Amino acid sequence: MIESPVLERVLSAALRHGGEFAEVFAEDRSSSSALLDDGRVEELSSGRERGAGIRVVSGETTGFAHTADLSEAGLLRAAEAASAVARSGDGRTSTVAVTPLAPGSARSGGEGPAPGRGSKAQTLDLLRRADEAARSAGGAISQVQAGCGQSRRQVLIANSDGLLAGDDQSRSRFSVSCVATADTGLQTGYESAARTLGFEMFNEVSVAELAELAAGRALSKLTARPAPSGELPVVLAGGSGGILFHEACGHGLEADHIVKDASVYTGMVGQLVASPLVTLVDDGTVGTEWGTFSVDDEGRPAQRNVLIDHGVLTDYLWDYLRARKEGRVSSGNGRRQTYQHLPMVRMTNTFLLPGDEDAEEIVAQTPRGVYVAKLGGGQVNTTTGDFVFGTTEAYLIEGGRITEPLRDANLIGNGPEILKRIDAVAGDFAMTPGTCGKDGQSVPVGCGQATLRLTGVTIGGTAE
């Protein structure tokens, strides 16, 4: 994308007015999406975006500028703007030399040749198959929307420490949303699959199955009763979302919150913060999961980080800036949405290691509670630890059996309290993809867990 001598000159220019660290992050992203709605292929969209973000760190201050102009002149202008924070006037001349992190270039998403964007005709076929499968699931299915998106993101990172790294990331995603209608009103169901992989994802993923799951969810809720209100035991199904850990502790373990003393987990390394059944890992190297990459957006290789080991907090997640402050190295969690954004500490694939109990047995041993088959999104206040997560498919558990479907509701809890209430973990582990939003930036993440039980969570339904 940009030749090394140009990168070296731009980095030198970025440090001309002072500063300890300079970085060029260049990105070339192309994306395409297709949407089928209301029985019609409504829209195919293609986009192309390329540019570079340049940051200069001087003391506690980061200067950042970005440009869509990747010519040397364009990069030098951005370097000049980013260096405005460092006009300390020491006038020294920095010489920067960059060397590749690893020979060859990194690839995220398959071992084969660089994945293509899939032919448009093939994409349409997938969308129609999903539409058909969803509509065949029941006469009450009144609306179906299916979407397919693919992106290829090539990144190049060079910094004044001499690092030069790149990654070529292909991602694919397919989703189905259904509406079911009855005299009880409208209900919705959603399912998606997403991988760090090209079009070959569809060799592994059946879009008809996704459509049937989405349709089934909408249909089952037509006869659902309002969710209970108040505290009850909750069994989360394996692969129901894993968002519990993402919200209950994942965000709170991000070092940017820690160094600002804005997390309920600040100063708790070495302490018991969860049930001994909890071993929580964040791992950007897992197969072709949605949160996987070769190097992060600061050029650091993705790695596996154990955050909680048998209930004991072992470490936080780090990016370059926060790690530097603490005199350590990044954990490979510096990510950004695009070249127009500053990197910050983000999760990758965050999951609970499976336990050895039987999922059905866990339900059987729950006299009364709520069984959550699928979770939607969630949100957390890292400072107080209070978090919510929403159900999109849930049932009552009565007498150790899964019985009536429940309408959607949010569940609310406090991270450190809820993590201690996990009293059973099964072995039926599965991952799900999600989009994580933080401070205005969205990045792809994975969440995973096996079936587990929480001894009590507040359920925000309307039934008294």
Partner 1 sequence: MTTVTQGPTGGRPADAAGHGPDELMAVAERVAGWARTGEEVEVYVARGDETEVRAFSGAVESLTSATSAGIGIRVVVDHRLGFAWAGSLEESVFEETLAEARDNATFATPDEHVKLAVPDGVAPHVIDLWDEALASVPTTDKVEMALDLEARARTADPRIRQVDAADYGDGSVEMALVSTTGIRASSRKTMAHISVRVIAGDGDASQTAGGFSVGRGFADLDPSRAEEDAVTRAVRLLGATKGTSGRATVVFDRRVASTLLSVVSSALSGEAVAKGRSFFAGRIGEVVGDPSLTLVDDPTDPRAYGAAAFDAEGLACRRNALIDAGVLRGFLYDTVSGSRAGVASTGSAVRGGFAGTPGPGCRALTLAPGVQGYDEDGVLAAVGEGLFVQSMTGVHSGVNPISGDFSVGAEGLMIRDGKLAEPVREITVASTLQRMLLSLVAVGADVEWLPGIAAGQTLAIGDMQISGV
Task: Please say which residue, 51 or 446, places its beta carbon nearer to partner 1.
Answer: 51
Per CB under 8 A, 179 contacts partner 1: yes
Per CB under 8 A, 111 contacts partner 1: no
Task: Please say which residue, 174 or 426, places its beta carbon nearer to partner 1.
Answer: 174
Task: Please say which residue, 39 or 100, places its beta carbon nearer to partner 1.
Answer: 39
Give per-residue burial for 134-160: e unless 16+ CB within 10 Å, then b: bbebbeebebbbbbbbbbbbbbbbbbb
**Under a CB-based contact definition with an 8 Å cutoff, are residues 452 and 352 in contact?**
yes
Task: Please say which residue, 154 or 294, places its beta carbon nearer to partner 1.
Answer: 154
Task: Please say which residue, 98 or 211, places its beta carbon nearer to partner 1.
Answer: 211
SS3 232: strand
> What gap in Å lies between CA 264 and CA 269, rounded to an integer?
12
Minimum distance from residue 188 beta carbon to partner 1 (Å): 5
Q: In angstroms, how far is CA 165 from the centroid of its own chain?
A: 22
Query: Per CB under 8 A, which of residues 47..106 are in contact with partner 1?
Result: 47-51, 58-69, 73-74, 77, 81-82, 84-88
Task: Please say which residue, 38 or 111, places its beta carbon nearer to partner 1.
Answer: 38
Minimum distance from residue 159 beta carbon to partner 1 (Å): 17
**Which residues, in sequence order, are CB contacts of 60 under 8 Å at separation 6+?**
none
Minimum distance from residue 179 beta carbon to partner 1 (Å): 6
- R_g (Cα) of the chain, nearest Å: 24
C-alpha closest to that of 411 among 434, 444, 389? 389
Task: Please say which residue, 258 or 424, places its beta carbon nearer to partner 1.
Answer: 258
Tokens of 296: 């992060």
Minimum distance from residue 358 beta carbon to partner 1 (Å): 29
Per CB under 8 A, 377 contacts partner 1: yes
Q: Which of 3, 93, 111, 121 binds partner 1 (CB under 8 A)?
A: 121
Per CB under 8 A, 433 contacts partner 1: no
Minimum distance from residue 189 beta carbon to partner 1 (Å): 11
Query: Per CB under 8 A, which of residues 126..145 are in contact with partner 1?
Result: 142-143
Q: Which of 261, 270, 356, 399 binds partner 1 (CB under 8 A)?
A: 261
Minimum distance from residue 330 beta carbon to partner 1 (Å): 18
Q: Which of 72, 132, 386, 423 binds partner 1 (CB under 8 A)?
A: 386
Minimum distance from residue 464 beta carbon to partner 1 (Å): 7
Query: Per CB under 8 A, which of residues 280..339 are in contact with partner 1?
Result: none
C-alpha closest to that of 282 among 382, 353, 203? 353
Task: Please say which residue, 128 or 304, places its beta carbon nearer to partner 1.
Answer: 128
Tokens of 107: 């690839």
- Please, which residues bridge with residue 425 across strands? 452
Instruction: Give the C-alpha distances (Å, rounded to integers) separating 432 from 2, 225, 254, 365.
Output: 35, 27, 21, 26
Minimum distance from residue 47 beta carbon to partner 1 (Å): 5
Task: Please say which residue, 89 or 399, places its beta carbon nearer to partner 1.
Answer: 89
Q: In angstroms, how far is CA 197 from the centroid of its own chain?
A: 15
**Which residues, in sequence order, are CB contacts of 329 under 8 Å at separation 6+?**
300, 318, 323
> What gap in Å lies between CA 295 and CA 196, rounded to an integer?
13
* Beta-carbon-side half-sphere exposure of residue 440 (alpha carbons within 13 Å): 5
Minimum distance from residue 356 beta carbon to partner 1 (Å): 31
Task: Please say which residue, 98 or 375, places its beta carbon nearer to partner 1.
Answer: 375
SS3 content of the chain, % helix, strand, coil (to 5): 20, 45, 35
Task: Please say which residue, 195 or 336, places its beta carbon nearer to partner 1.
Answer: 336
- The position carrying tokens 């290829």 is 152
**Which residues, in sequence order, are CB contacts of 250 under 8 Å at separation 6+?**
280, 282, 307, 347, 350
Q: How many residues bind partner 1 (CB under 8 A)?
A: 88
C-alpha closest to that of 255 among 310, 311, 307, 312? 307
**Under a CB-based contact definition with an 8 Å cutoff, are residues 369 and 232 in contact?**
yes
Residue-level length of the chain: 464
Query: Per CB under 8 A, which of residues 16..55 are in contact with partner 1?
Result: 34, 37-51
- Residue 40 burial (C-beta neighbours within 10 Å; 0-12, 13-18, 19+): exposed
Instruction: Give the C-alpha distances (Å, rounded to integers) separating 193 from 211, 237, 336.
Output: 11, 17, 22
Minimum distance from residue 285 beta carbon to partner 1 (Å): 29
Per CB under 8 A, 15 contacts partner 1: no
- The position carrying tokens 């205005």 is 440
Query: Per CB under 8 A, which of residues 147..166 are in contact with partner 1?
Result: none
Query: Per CB under 8 A, which of residues 182..241 are in contact with partner 1?
Result: 185-188, 221, 227, 229-231
Minimum distance from residue 231 beta carbon to partner 1 (Å): 7
Query: Per CB under 8 A, which of residues 337..376 are in contact with partner 1?
Result: 340, 342, 376
Task: Please say which residue, 142 or 303, places its beta carbon nearer to partner 1.
Answer: 142
